[in-house]
Structure 1
């Protein structure tokens, strides 16, 4: 059963599990997979329409409208950058600054054109563990980052962090294979450690300011504990 975070007459927010597709794709049709839209529709007994997207391996807050005619209003909140999105990510290494931004343009994967992109981050905490995961140093360092994407490009957070060599742990497409293999062997990790923790927006119908957050999933919290992060509350 999908975890419902908040529900009104007009919209519903859920905590999407890692590995769950938002809506049907050719791959899902071939493999007869479940997807969030279908599961939620069946669970509440009515049609729902996704306002934004989360990558398949990313967990966290996902917003749907219950009325198709309201979809343009909600989508406009995102396209006009009035929505504040906060993610949590476990990454390789420690940034040189406790907060900053990545703003290198990203290539559109369909058109090949460069698009402006900006991802802000803050260092929540960092640890150093006595394992050689790269073959170069006797220890390895990791950081828990709070991340706010200002733009919404495809795989933006994952690509910006990869450019900075702060690869997200568990990222099979843009990450570091050595790190991924280490976490699979040492901690049996099968998931991407990127979580859509909070969504803040103004309800375009009631004009009420909303703040919705999804607790860190068990697999993510378990890794933080195993690595020895002193504070897992964000």
Structure 2
């Protein structure tokens, strides 16, 4: 279900495997309960979530003091998070910002609207792998349901293997998972700054030589000059 990255006095950081449900769902036990059981914790406070199909870093607080401090950073958008995704086809633009309201579509899908009353905001840069796929480094500035998946769909490049948005199959690729991964997180707690990255370990395209080479460019996602976008 997950691999443990950090187990400190104040927080727990794990890397969730794709296909793992955050809560119980149809499984005997959900991710949160599994971590609590494994670490012998009475309480564990989730600070954000990942879709079932998405893998990667998830942060939890262990106590009320830590959850208040970290939850405030999430609300104020001072926690820095990055995701990586793979997609085929040619994007409408190779870098920039996607901004728009999210509205419900059919069959569990979401759509990006032209309105910006309460928008989802995502900045991104990308690079080609040389095999027909493109690697996207995504910086969400808000935390809406399906935000990153819809952002790439709106650019004409749905996440490879996405069960909801990857409808027009590309015969060049045979995805064995949804290629979206929570890659990096940076936050401050009790006056100390923490920064972590996590390289995906599952998925044939995520462990390919082409991907490994391209990802080196994004090893330090905080070093890029990201646009100053108002949320």
TM-score by length of 2: 0.79
Counterpart position of 2:155:
164
User: Do residues 213 (structure 1) and 197 (structure 2) align?
Assistant: yes
Instruction: For residue 82 of structure 1, give the secondary structure of its aligned residue in structure 2.
Output: coil
Counterpart position of 2:126:
123
Q: CA deviation at 1:3?
A: 1.4
1:106 and 1:84 mapped to 2: Cα distance?
22
User: Do residues 223 (structure 1) and 209 (structure 2) align?
Assistant: no
Q: CA deviation at 1:2?
A: 3.3
Q: Deviations over 1:24-52 (max 9, x none)?
A: 3xxx1xx3343211111111101312111
Instruction: For residue 218 of structure 1, give the secondary structure of its aligned residue in structure 2.
Output: coil
Structure with the higher fraction of residues in helix conformation: 1
Return the index of the structure with the highest Cα Rg.
1
Output aligned runs, 1:13-24, within 5 Å.
13-24=13-24
Counterpart position of 1:173:
164
* Contact 2:10-2:63 within 8 A present in 1 as well: yes
CA RMSD of aligned residues (A): 2.6
Output aligned runs, 1:190-205, within 5 Å.
190-203=176-189
User: Do residues 87 (structure 1) and 83 (structure 2) align?
Assistant: yes
* Contact 1:87-1:147 within 8 A present in 2 as well: yes
What stretches of structure 1 move > 4 A for 4+ residues in a row? 224-230
Deviates more, 1:47-56 or 1:68-77: 68-77
TM-score by length of 1: 0.78
Residue correspondences, number: 207
* Contact 2:11-2:66 within 8 A present in 1 as well: no
Structure 1 residue runs without a partner (length 5+): 129-140
